[in-house]
């Protein structure tokens, strides 16, 4: 497994990472352990979760149990900020809550430190300076190595970075944004900002919730029990335009003896800011397929052709 730079930090991460949002919902303790161990055996070092995953806490809890003594061999990322209860108190980016959320995550993950701690979503009720001051304190204490953000606009990231520089605080080292062959909206504003700030980019939904695995075809019944059977995901990706685009991409891959899954990984990894492609898995076999898919290094002309095929007016 290729190890890639994580932005301008000293961290190296595996080209394929494991998204852990299935843990505690679709996967129980034993299934989680099997997937985690398959990932470690495949050379995956980056494990990405969030406090809210798995019915508010179970993903972190099961991941911590499954990693055990092998925690030291991993780059562990988690997130804070989304509501952890119905009271409205356990959420956001306030100084008080950031510290509380971090301690809870450390306990569930059975670790003394988090490698990358993401602010999951902007909190309009809290000044970014307050949140950054709290995160800076956690970095200085050694409880967090690097911080990042998710679902921030380009303007919001710039504001945060400028605030950090002006006040001598730890800046964001990474960002997580939706990015895949079917969703290229971040190229307008967010991606140029990421490149200018030299941030690591961790794309979420890299497989468009399964659309880019090759399971879905125009005019064919949808496979049962998949993520796209949930309207939350199907409304976002499942449409005739995307299915027609997938047919073209399938032809492109077939002409080169490759799979659509390999293209989904390879195209993202050809983007300079992308540190790792984080994909979820519900079985050890899916883990192994994802790990293997990270091996296609697209040539420049192949990237350009795929760009033309997937660019929307």
Q: Quick one: tokens of 83?
A: 């509501």
Average pLDDT of 163-180? 97
Q: What does the DSSP 8-state code read for residue 255?
A: T
Q: Quick check: 89 pLDDT over 90?
A: no
Per-residue pLDDT band for 78 (boundaries 50, 70, 90) equals very high
User: How far apart, in whole angstroms, are the C-alpha atoms of residue 78 and residue 83?
Assistant: 15
What is the per-residue pLDDT across 32-48, written as a single tens digit (0 to 9) for each?
A: 999 999 999 999 999 99
Task: Give how far the C-alpha of residue 24 lies from the chain's centroid of Cα atoms, to the nearest Å.
Answer: 18
What is the per-residue pLDDT across 96-143, written as a single tens digit (0 to 9) for each?
A: 999 999 999 999 999 999 999 999 999 999 999 999 999 999 999 999
User: How far apart, in whole angstroms, are the C-alpha atoms of residue 78 and residue 114?
Assistant: 7
Q: Quick check: 144 pLDDT over 90?
A: yes
Average pLDDT of 248-277? 96
Neighbour count for residue 148 (Cβ, 10 Å): 26
pLDDT at 236: 63
Average pLDDT of 86-92? 85
3-215+260-299 architecture in CATH?
A: Alpha-Beta Barrel (3.20)
Question: Which amino acids are annotated catalytic?
Answer: 53
Every domain of the chain and the residues it spans: 3-215+260-299
Cβ–Cβ under 8 Å, residues 152 and 171: no
3-state secondary structure of 116: strand
Per-residue pLDDT band for 312 (boundaries 50, 70, 90) equals confident
Q: What does the DSSP 8-state code read for residue 38?
A: H
Query: Which position has the higher pLDDT, 312 or 269?
Result: 269
Q: Quick one: tokens of 34?
A: 């099997």
Mean pLDDT (the chain, rounded): 93
Q: What percent of the chain has pLDDT over 70?
A: 92
User: How far apart, in whole angstroms, are the C-alpha atoms of residue 146 and residue 161?
Assistant: 14
Q: What does the DSSP 8-state code read for residue 303?
A: H
Per-residue pLDDT band for 13 (boundaries 50, 70, 90) equals very high
Per-residue pLDDT band for 173 (boundaries 50, 70, 90) equals very high
Q: What would you report as the CA-atom Rg of the chain, rounded to the nearest whole angstrom?
A: 19
Write phi, then psi, for 300 (nearest 5 degrees).
Answer: -60, -40
pLDDT at 209: 81
pLDDT at 25: 94
Crossing angle for the helix pair 53-67 and 95-109, nearest 10 degrees? 50
Per-residue pLDDT band for 93 (boundaries 50, 70, 90) equals very high
pLDDT at 220: 62
Close Cβ partners of 135 (under 8 Å, ≥ 6 residues apart): 98, 117, 119, 144, 147, 169, 170
Q: Quick check: 247 pLDDT over 60?
A: yes
Alpha helices in the chain (DSSP H): 29-41, 53-67, 95-109, 128-140, 154-167, 190-197, 231-237, 240-254, 260-269, 284-293, 300-310
Query: Which position has the higher pLDDT, 299 or 223?
Result: 299
Q: Where are the beta strands (DSSP E) in 196-312?
A: 200-204, 277-280
Checking DSSP bridges between strand 16-19 and strand 277-280, what pairing results, if any? parallel
Neighbour count for residue 34 (Cβ, 10 Å): 16
Q: Quick one: tokens of 263?
A: 């293209």
Cβ–Cβ under 8 Å, residues 143 and 113: yes
Question: What pTM was estimated for this model as a whole?
Answer: 0.92
């Amino acid at each position: 497994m290729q190890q890639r730079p994580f932005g301008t930090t000293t961290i190296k991460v595996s080209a394929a990472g494991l998204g852990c949002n299935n843990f505690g919902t679709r996967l129980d303790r034993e299934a989680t352990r099997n997937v985690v161990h398959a990932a470690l055996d495949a050379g995956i070092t980056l494990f990405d979760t969030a406090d809210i995953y798995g019915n508010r806490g179970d993903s972190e809890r099961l991941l911590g149990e499954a990693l055990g003594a092998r925690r030291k061999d991993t780059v562990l990322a988690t997130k804070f900020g989304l509501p952890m209860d119905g009271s409205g108190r356990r959420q956001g980016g306030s100084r008080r809550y950031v510290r509380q959320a971090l301690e809870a995550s450390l306990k569930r993950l059975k670790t003394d430190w988090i490698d990358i701690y993401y602010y999951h979503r902007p909190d309009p009720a809290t000044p970014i300076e307050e949140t950054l001051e709290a995160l800076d304190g956690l970095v200085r204490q050694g409880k967090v190595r690097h911080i990042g953000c998710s679902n921030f606009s380009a303007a919001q990231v710039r504001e945060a970075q400028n605030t950090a520089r002006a006040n001598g605080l730890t800046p964001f080292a990474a960002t997580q944004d939706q990015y895949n062959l079917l969703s290229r909206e971040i190229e307008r504003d967010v991606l140029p900002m990421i490149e200018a700030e030299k941030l690591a980019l961790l794309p979420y939904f890299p497989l468009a919730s399964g659309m880019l695995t090759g399971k879905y075809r125009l005019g064919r019944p949808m496979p049962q029990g998949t993520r796209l059977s949930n309207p939350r995901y199907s409304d976002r990706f499942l449409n005739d335009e995307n299915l027609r685009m997938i047919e073209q991409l399938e032809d492109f891959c077939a002409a080169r003896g490759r799979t659509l899954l390999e293209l989904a990984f390879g195209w993202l990894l050809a983007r300079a800011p992308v540190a790792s492609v984080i994909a979820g898995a519900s079985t050890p076999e899916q883990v192994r397929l994802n790990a293997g898919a990270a091996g296609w290094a697209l040539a420049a002309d192949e990237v350009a052709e795929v760009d033309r095929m997937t660019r929307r007016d």
